[in-house]
Structure formats: structure tokens, C-alpha cells
């Protein structure tokens, strides 16, 4: 069996990240506490470099490589750049958090970058093999990151749960893939979609495989009923890790959904449409209702993330390029808001005080009117209140659902958003109307203050000018 030399150019960013990460891994061995900042700077440089590479490779066309197992199309380009930017922000946010807790180690950055590499592979995957490869590379890095704080009982427990449930979901994904491979004889997505379209007769195995694929995707996205890990892991992990897990992987999860369903199985659209409707309704419902009962802000944000995942699915299930663009827009917007939300938890915390309880936000307005205002932006945006960016994201997916003639679904989504608005509002009430438990103004580090302010003001600014990002998503989806 002979191979042709593949075209390496589309995978330049991946190779760059791999090379740099390995380099950091080695360099870090020779660093000590004082010089460790080199690893951090190199990691940031890696992301910047990858961004430049991806940007220079960005074009309107799709390019296949590595025997059609790898694709670089506009969607991949945009999502990868979003991932770099997100992780760049995550590193900025985590820098001082990690230092204060003795977690500022090379592993954090190396694992995160390997996770990024996994996401990149997943985003550009064009075959079951690369999808699985990317997924596992990403997931394994995440499991390890959750467990990084070894002396924390909750972190270890969370990592264990995450790993076992994740392994289970991966196994199911593989099972589904093997079923589809058995029927169609191919792992490559274009061929798969052709083979599925040509399949005659009943679709027992195809649908069976589809269900298992969707279990894997739903698990990664944290959609109900495959969401159980989300609150426990978000809660248990160090906040810097939570910040990472809750943002960038969602973009990769969205890409995975798009690759598997839209690229690979358009022939089964009626079937996956139904399942996605179910997942979306459950996620939006459970996420918004259960969030109300939370007293821990990380858990609350976890449930909020679950309901956002449901909204993201709404865009995809409409089955039109506009809908996919809406889903992508939602994924990116959620990432920005998620960064802000958990970023705020980091900003509020200090060594020995994690600011995890909602009560810790009482009277924030007295302690720091500016950051209370920033948190207000973030919460309103998550609730989907205009003119913040979260509103446009909700609007886009709702429009997609309405144009797919699913009025009842739009109605359900709206009703649960109303319920959801309640718990975001509660945070605002705590910040503005309640008495602070601890006095003294909040004085975060200058870097954190700048990053969070930029993030929150970005939410407002993007809300005022959502056109460019939206146009980018539409272009990426060819709509």
C-alpha cells in the first residue's frame, strides 16, 4: 500500500502548535519558580503565532488534505481563530490566579496547548478517525487539567467523574462510528454522506449509529441528559481550569456537531433533527430551571452553560446555512460571555477565598461600582437582554427556528429564557441591592482589571455592532 505525500500547508497551524508545545514541555524542565514566566510567554506566543498562521491561510475555499481526513474551510478557520483568542484570554485571566495557588506550572500551559491542538484537529477533522483523535486529545488534556490541584478533594473527585463519564461517552461515540463504518465502509465524511444517501431500505444501523454519535457530541456540549458532569466539574476544578473547560471546548464541540451531522450525515437530517430538538428543549428547560436553585456561582454558570448549549443546538437543528451560522455565532458569543462570567469569579477570588458562593457577590456595588457594572453587562448579556451581544445570538437562533416553522420550539425557548432571566437578575440584585458581607473595596490586579473590563465592554460593543461577527459566521457557512 502506497501513500502520496500529503499537502502539509493546511495543517501548518496544527504543526506549529505541536512543535511549540513540545518545545515548551522541554524548556519548562529547565525553569524554576522565578523564570517560569517564560513558559507562560511562550504559550501566549504560540497562540499568537497560530492565529497569524490561520489568518494567512484563511480563504473562502475548502481544502482537503491527508487523504481527505483533514479539511481547512472557512468554518475551520474562523473557529480556530476564535479558539486561539479564547485561550489567549484564558491564560491572561489565569496568570495571577495560578500563581497565588501554587499552580503556576508548565503543565498547565502544556496541557492547555495540547487541548488546543485537539480542538484544532477536531475542528478541521474530515473523517471519523481525525474526529476521534482530536476529541480524545482535547479530552485527555482536560481531564488532567481538572486533576491538577492534587491536594483538593473536590478537584480530584471532579476529575474522576469527568474521566469516567467522558470515557463512557467516548466509547459510545466510537460504537456509533463503528456501526456507521460497518454499513458504509468508509470513515471519510464526504464518502459517508454519499453512501448514506444511497442506502436503500430501512436505516436501522444508520440511526443506531447516529444516536450514539449524538451522545458523544451532546456530552461534549453538555446538553441534557448528558450534562451530569458539567456542574460537578465546573465546580470542582480550579476556576482557571473551569474557565478553560467552559469556553474553548464548546467551539470545538460545535464544530464536531457540524462535521458529523451536516458534513457527514445530511442524509439522516430528519432523524438528527428530531433528536436535536429533544436535546435542545431538555437543555434549555433543565438548565434554566435548575440554575435557580444554585447557591454556588460556578454551578449556576454551569447550568447557564447547559441552557446555552440548548440554544446553540436550536441554530443547528433548523438545517439551513443561516441556522448553522446562527449556531456558530451563538457558540462564539457564549464563549465570550463565559469568559467574562468565570473571569469575574477569578477576579473576585484571592488565595484562600474562591468567591464561589453567590453570597460573596452581595453588595459588590459598594465595594467596586465599576466591576459591579461589568458583571451587570455580563449577566444581562447572558440573559439575552438587548443591546448586549447575547441578545443578538438569541435573536439569530430564534429566527432560524421560526424560519424552520418550529413556532412551538421558539415559544418554549422564549418561556424558559424568561425563567432563566430570573437567576441572572438575582446576581444583579445581590450586587446592587444587598449589603456587602465584607467591607473594603475590591482591588484586583491591574492585568485582571484590564482584561475583565475589556471583556465586558466588548460584550456591549459587540452588541452595538454585531454585524461584522455575524457576517463572518454567515460567510463561513456559505450562506
Among residue numbers 341 through 380, which ones bind other proteins (CB under 8 A)?
380
| CB 79 to other proteins: min, Å | 19
461 binds other proteins (CB under 8 A): no
Cβ closest to other proteins, residue 25 vs residue 211:
211
> With binding defined as CB under 8 A, does residue 470 bind other proteins?
yes
Q: Does 396 bind other proteins (CB under 8 A)?
A: yes
Residue from 19, 60, 102, 185 in contact with other proteins (CB under 8 A)? 185
Centre a 10 Å sphere on the Cβ of residue 34 and count the other Cβ atoms it contains: 7
Query: Minimum distance from CB of 3 to other proteins (Å)?
Result: 5
- Minimum CB–partner distance for residue 319 and other proteins (Å): 16
Neighbouring-strand partners of residue 350: 353
Q: Among residues 274, 359, 438, 447, which is the contact residue for other proteins, using CB under 8 A?
A: 274
Contact 122, 135 (CB under 8 A): yes
Show the cell assigned to 349: 477570588
**Smallest gap from residue 194 Cβ to other proteins (A):** 16
Report, in Å, the least distance between residue 6 CB and other proteins. Answer: 11
The set of residues, in sequence order, having a beta carbon less than 8 Å from that of 167 and lying 6+ positions away, is none
Question: Could you give the CA distance from residue 201 to residue 174 in angstroms, rounded to a whole number?
Answer: 24
Q: What is the smallest separation between the CB atom of 289 and other proteins, expressed in angstroms?
A: 5
Compute the distance between CA of residue 164 and CA of residue 157 in angstroms, rounded to an integer: 11
Selected from 122, 144, 183, 245, the binder of other proteins by CB under 8 A is 183
- Considering only residues 159, 210, 241, 448, which one is a binding residue for other proteins as defined by CB under 8 A? 210
Which is closer to other proteins, CB of 92 or CB of 173? 173
Told to check if 19 binds other proteins by CB under 8 A, we report no
Query: Using alpha carbons only, what angle is made at residue 8 by residues 2 and 12, rounded to the nearest 5 degrees?
Result: 155
Tell me: does residue 168 bind other proteins (CB under 8 A).
Answer: yes
Smallest distance from other proteins to CB 239, Å: 19
Q: Which is nearer to other proteins, 42 or 317 (CB)?
A: 317
List the interface residues with other proteins, window 222-261 (CB under 8 A): 225-226, 228-229, 231-232
Q: How far apart are CA 414 and CA 378, in angstroms?
A: 19
CA 2 to chain CA centroid, nearest Å: 39
Interface residue with other proteins among 15, 18, 31, 211 (CB under 8 A) is 211
- 3-state SS record for 247-310: CHHHHHHHHHHHHHHHHHCHHHHHHHHHHHHHHHHHHHHHHHHHHCCCCEHHHHHHHHHHHHHH
Stretch that binds other proteins, among 53-61, 248-256, 258-266, 274-282 (CB under 8 A): 274-282
- For the record, the C-alpha cell of 61 comes out as 475555499
**Judged by CB under 8 A, does residue 200 bind other proteins?**
no
Specify whether the CB–CB gap between 205 and 86 falls below 8 A: no
Size of the site for other proteins (CB under 8 A): 76
81 within 8 A of 51, measured Cβ to Cβ:
yes
Site map (CB under 8 A) of other proteins, residues 421-460, x = contact: xx--x---x--xx---------------------------
The C-alpha torsion from 317 through 323 and 326 to 328, rounded to 10°, is 60
44 binds other proteins (CB under 8 A): no
Q: Rule CB under 8 A: which of 292-351 touch other proteins?
A: 292-294, 322
- Give ∠ CA 209-210-214 in degrees, rounded to 5: 120
> How far out from the chain centre does Cα 437 lie?
33
151-158 — which CB contacts under 8 Å span 24+ positions? 152/236, 152/238, 154/235, 154/236, 155/236, 155/237, 155/238, 157/232, 157/236, 158/232, 158/233, 158/235, 158/236, 158/237
CB 107 within 8 A of CB 148: yes
Of positions 257, 291, 317, 442, contacts other proteins by CB under 8 A: 291
Interaction between residue 147 and other proteins (CB under 8 A): no
Contact letters for other proteins, residues 88-107 (x by CB under 8 A): --------------------
Amino acid at each position: 500500500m502506497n501513500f502520496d505525500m500529503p499537502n502539509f500547508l493546511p495543517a501548518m497551524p496544527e504543526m506549529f502548535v505541536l512543535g511549540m508545545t513540545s518545545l515548551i514541555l522541554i524548556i519548562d524542565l529547565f525553569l524554576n519558580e522565578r523564570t517560569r514566566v517564560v513558559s507562560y510567554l511562550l504559550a501566549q506566543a504560540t497562540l499568537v503565532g497560530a492565529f497569524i498562521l490561520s489568518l494567512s491561510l484563511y480563504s473562502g475555499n475548502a481544502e482537503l488534505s491527508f487523504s481527505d481526513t483533514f479539511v481547512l474551510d472557512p468554518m475551520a478557520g474562523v473557529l480556530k481563530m476564535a479558539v486561539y483568542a479564547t485561550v489567549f484570554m484564558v491564560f491572561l485571566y489565569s496568570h495571577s490566579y495560578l500563581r497565588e495557588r501554587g499552580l503556576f506550572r508548565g503543565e498547565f500551559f502544556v496541557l492547555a496547548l495540547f487541548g488546543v491542538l485537539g480542538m484544532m484537529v477536531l475542528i478541521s477533522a474530515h473523517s471519523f478517525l481525525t474526529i476521534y483523535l482530536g476529541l480524545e486529545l482535547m479530552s485527555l488534556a482536560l481531564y488532567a487539567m481538572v486533576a491538577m490541584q492534587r491536594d483538593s478533594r473536590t478537584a480530584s473527585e471532579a476529575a474522576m467523574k469527568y474521566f469516567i463519564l467522558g470515557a463512557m461517552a467516548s466509547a459510545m461515540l466510537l460504537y456509533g462510528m463503528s456501526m456507521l463504518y460497518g454499513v458504509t465502509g468508509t470513515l471519510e465524511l464526504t464518502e459517508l454522506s454519499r453512501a448514506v444517501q444511497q442506502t436503500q431500505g430501512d436505516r436501522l444501523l444508520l440511526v443506531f449509529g447516529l444516536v450514539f454519535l449524538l451522545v458523544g457530541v451532546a456530552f461534549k456540549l453538555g446538553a441534557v441528559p448528558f450534562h451530569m458532569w458539567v456542574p460537578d466539574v465546573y465546580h470542582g476544578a480550579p476556576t482557571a481550569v473551569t474557565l478553560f473547560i467552559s469556553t474553548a471546548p464548546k467551539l470545538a464541540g460545535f464544530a464536531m456537531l457540524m462535521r458529523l451531522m451536516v458534513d457527514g450525515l445530511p442524509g439522516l437530517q430528519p432523524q438528527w433533527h428530531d433528536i436535536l430538538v429533544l436535546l435542545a428543549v431538555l437543555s434549555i428547560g433543565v438548565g434554566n430551571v435548575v440554575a435557580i436553585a444554585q447557591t454556588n456561582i460556578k454551578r449556576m454558570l454551569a447550568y447557564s452553560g447547559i441552557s446555552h448549549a440548548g440554544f446553540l443546538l436550536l441554530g443547528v437543528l433548523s438545517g439551513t446555512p443561516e441556522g448553522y451560522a446562527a449556531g456558530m455565532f451563538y457558540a462564539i458569543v457564549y464563549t465570550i460571555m463565559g469568559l467574562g462570567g468565570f473571569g469575574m469569579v477569578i477576579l473576585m477570588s484571592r488565595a484562600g477565598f474562591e468567591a464561589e458562593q453567590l453570597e460573596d457577590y452581595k453588595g459588590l456595588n459598594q465595594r467596586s461600582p465599576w466591576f459591579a457594572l461589568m458583571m451587570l453587562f455580563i449577566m444581562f448579556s447572558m440573559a439575552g437582554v438587548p443591546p448586549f451581544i447575547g441578545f443578538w445570538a438569541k435573536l439569530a437562533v430564534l429566527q432560524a427556528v421560526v424560519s424552520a416553522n418550529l413556532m412551538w420550539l421558539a415559544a418554549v425557548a422564549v418561556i424558559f429564557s424568561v425563567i432563566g432571566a430570573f437567576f441572572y437578575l438575582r446576581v444583579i440584585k445581590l450586587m446592587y441591592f444587598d449589603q456587602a458581607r465584607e467591607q473594603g473595596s475590591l482591588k484586583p490586579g491591574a492585568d485582571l482589571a484590564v482584561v475583565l473590563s475589556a471583556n465586558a465592554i466588548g460584550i456591549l460593543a459587540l452588541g452595538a455592532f454585531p454585524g461584522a461577527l455575524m457576517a463572518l459566521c454567515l460567510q463561513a457557512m456559505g450562506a
